[in-house]
């Protein structure tokens, strides 16, 4: 007898969509209840950077949970979260040396916004509370994080809940209309931040948040390094905190441990999630620079914000185990698989349906357009992203599909974000399946 499924599914076509049921998963493989093996070419939602069920993880669960799983970090401390904070402080750029724990990427960004607000309040700048972000960004689903999010598909219907904040153009070279060299275009795009700060009033602006490399909305999109140089200078000039949202790009996803390392710019805060635990438990964090943390050391300073499960010893022990595994060798393996995918997907570079082919380390983005010359996106009703996703799944490969906006400002896209530990053979299977899927969809719609 068919059983009733009581999960309230959000995406995926209704309350009881017909989703593949996974029995178990190891490395880059998901095995369905019917015994079909799928390659997880997206690490879930760009999460399982070490693959599924990495050897040794079960001993960590066993030893930490028989020691202590949960403590309220407001009242107790423990080795595991302390050790993790030390490691993150050591391995992150510059003086990002204090760690505030949360449980999801959205929560990390909410905490960063409130930390920015408190930082300025403590300095007597009580009006500074506005957050500036970019269109076609994704910073999370909760109200503050969604207020910063610029993906109009995700915001649609909730605008009345959202804060009256500001958005500037995305860092999206493929669709920029600025003149000049890539560097000049990047500087022009970044200067929109300055214009917006001045229009809104520098005395009201607390923070600018950005994904260093585009993620869920415009995957693998990266500006010229001059962009973040300019952002850093503008934030310094107008006393605005720069928050790098590394929830997706952190932990080797774009090549180095953190994507900001591509740019050599140190943000004032960095938010982390996803790869922090490679998905074995939920955990996220905000890394804070010394000068920000310093404001919270004065007499009477406080930060009235927190979550019950934040920094729980079990998740922290898992994260310690995971972060230690992002060695130079593993990061290089991720980069090598990224290079392999780019080379084996080369046939798509000039494909009539592929407007932009982007890659940063083991993160690849394909943007599909109706017309390569004009970059016109497909009509949203044709759901090209879903068709390519379905075709790849039929060929045994799970990818991450999406659409960055509802207003024709971005094409449909597909992201590949496989585990850094992907095998060469699996990378080839992914490339073959994606090429074949794009060809098949193109033949049907042209
Ligand atoms: N920030 C970025 C850059 C993300 O990609 C995501 C999720 O995809 C989030 C924040 C939100 O994270 P979570 O879904 O864990 O709340």
ipTM of this predicted structure? 1.00
Cβ-contact 162, 151 below 8 angstroms: no
- pLDDT at 241 (0 to 100): 98
- pLDDT > 90 in the chain, percent: 89
Model pLDDT, residue 130: 98
pLDDT at 13 over 60: no
Averaged pLDDT, 366-387: 92
This prediction's pTM: 0.97
Burial of 14 (0-12, 13-18, 19+ CB in 10 A): exposed
- Residues in the ligand 1 pocket, defined by CB under 6 Å: 45, 104-106, 109, 138-140, 211, 215-216, 245, 247-248, 273
Ligand 1 atom 5 nearest Cα: 248
Taking the CA of residue 271 as reference, the ligand 1 atom at the shortest distance is 1
Which atom of ligand 1 is found nearest the CA of 211?
3
pLDDT at residue 10 greater than cutoff 70: no
pLDDT band per the 50, 70, 90 thresholds, residue 409: confident
Distances (CA, A) of 281 to 26, 89, 276: 16, 21, 9
**Beta-carbon count within 10 A of 62 CB:** 10
Mean pLDDT of 133-137: 95
Q: How far apart are CA 295 and CA 206, in angstroms?
A: 15
Q: Which ligand 1 atom sits closest to the C-alpha of 274?
A: 15
pLDDT at 406: 62
**Average pLDDT value for residue range 334-362:** 97
The preferred substitution site among 49, 108, 140 for testing ligand 1, maximizing ligand atoms within 8 Å of CB, is: 140
pLDDT at 189 over 80: yes
Per-residue pLDDT, averaged over 117-130, amounts to 96
The total number of residues shown for the chain amounts to 446
């Amino acid at each position: 007898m068919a059983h009733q499924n009581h999960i309230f599914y959000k995406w995926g076509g209704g309350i009881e969509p017909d989703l593949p049921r996974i029995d178990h998963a190891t490395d880059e493989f998901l095995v369905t209840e019917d015994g079909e093996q799928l390659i997880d070419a997206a690490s879930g939602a760009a999460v399982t950077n070490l693959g599924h069920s990495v050897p040794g993880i079960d001993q960590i669960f066993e030893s930490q949970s028989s020691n202590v799983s949960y403590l309220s970090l407001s009242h107790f401390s423990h080795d595991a979260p302390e050790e993790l904070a030390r490691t993150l402080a050591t391995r992150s750029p510059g003086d990002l040396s204090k760690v505030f724990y949360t449980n999801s990427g959205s929560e990390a960004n909410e905490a960063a916004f409130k930390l920015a607000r408190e930082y300025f309040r403590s300095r007597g700048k009580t009006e500074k509370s506005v957050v500036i972000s970019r269109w076609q960004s994704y910073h999370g689903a909760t109200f503050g994080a969604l207020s910063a999010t610029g993906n109009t598909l995700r915001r649609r219907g909730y605008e009345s809940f959202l804060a009256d904040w500001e958005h500037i153009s995305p860092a999206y070279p493929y669709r920029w209309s600025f003149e000049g060299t890539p560097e000049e275009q990047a500087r022009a795009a970044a200067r929109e931040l300055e214009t917006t700060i001045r229009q809104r009033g520098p005395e009201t602006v607390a923070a600018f948040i950005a994904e260093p490399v585009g993620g869920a909305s415009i995957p693998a999109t990266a500006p010229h390094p001059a962009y973040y140089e300019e952002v850093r200078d503008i934030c310094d000039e107008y006393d605005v905190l720069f928050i790098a949202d590394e929830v997706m790009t952190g932990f080797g996803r774009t090549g180095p441990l953190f994507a900001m390392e591509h740019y050599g710019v140190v943000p004032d805060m960095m938010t982390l999630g996803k790869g922090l635990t490679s998905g074995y438990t939920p955990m996220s964090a905000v890394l804070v620079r010394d000068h920000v943390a310093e404001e919270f050391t004065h007499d009477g300073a406080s930060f009235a914000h927190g979550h019950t499960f934040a920094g729980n010893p079990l998740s922290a022990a898992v994260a310690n185990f995971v972060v230690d595994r992002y060695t130079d060798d593993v990061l290089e393996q991720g980069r090598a698989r990224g290079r392999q995918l780019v080379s084996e997907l080369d046939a798509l570079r000039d494909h009539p349906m592929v407007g932009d082919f982007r890659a940063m380390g083991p993160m690849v983005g394909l943007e599909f357009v109706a017309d390569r010359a004009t970059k016109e996106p497909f009509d949203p009703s044709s759901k090209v992203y879903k068709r390519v996703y379905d075709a790849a799944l039929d060929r045994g490969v799970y990818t991450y599909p999406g659409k960055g906006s509802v207003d024709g400002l971005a094409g449909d896209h597909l992201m590949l974000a496989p585990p850094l530990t992907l095998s060469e053979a699996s990378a080839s299977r992914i490339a073959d399946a994606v090429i074949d899927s794009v060809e098949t969809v193109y033949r049907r719609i042209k």
